[in-house]
Amino acid sequence: FNQWHTPNTSTTRSQYAAAIFFHNDKQQQEVHEMNIENVRVDRFNKFYEAEDYHQKYNLKWTIMETDLFGKIEEWINKDKQMITKLNGFLAGYGTKEQFQNWDKRRELTIEQQNYIKNKLGQ
């Protein structure tokens, strides 16, 4: 978590605030021991899915800025877990090693794979 967390976000406004939600006392204690700045820590109650325009933002942005991934319509009916993972990699989350070990990577073209590796840097 600390690798991707930027501690300068607001904890008072819920929109875009960094938050960790725990399910039990053990998880709450683990979060407390992490000693992370500017993160709201709450017990998990209910999950609210974001508005559609927020969904898969990085994939949509990549499709708009490059022709490597085709049109958004080509991705709509693909496996949701694959798309979620792809969206995360395109945002720069994860490592090249995690990407290399991802079984769905083989469903992408070599050009798409190289683009993602470049996004992951490292």
Going through the chain in order, the beta strands assigned E by DSSP cover: 19-22, 40-43
Q: Which residue has the tokens 């022709």?
A: 67
For 48-94, the pLDDT digits (tens) are: 776 666 677 778 888 878 888 888 788 877 888 888 899 889 888 89
Q: Which residue has the tokens 């996004």?
A: 119
Instruction: Name the residue with higher pLDDT: 108 or 61.
Output: 108
pLDDT at 122: 56
DSSP letter, residue 24: S
Of 3-12, 58-67, 77-86, 107-116, the least confident: 3-12
Instruction: For the chain, give every domain's residue range.
Output: 1-48, 52-120
In angstroms, the Cα distances linking 69 to 27, 66, 95 are 38, 7, 20
Run of H or E residues at 41:
strand 40-43
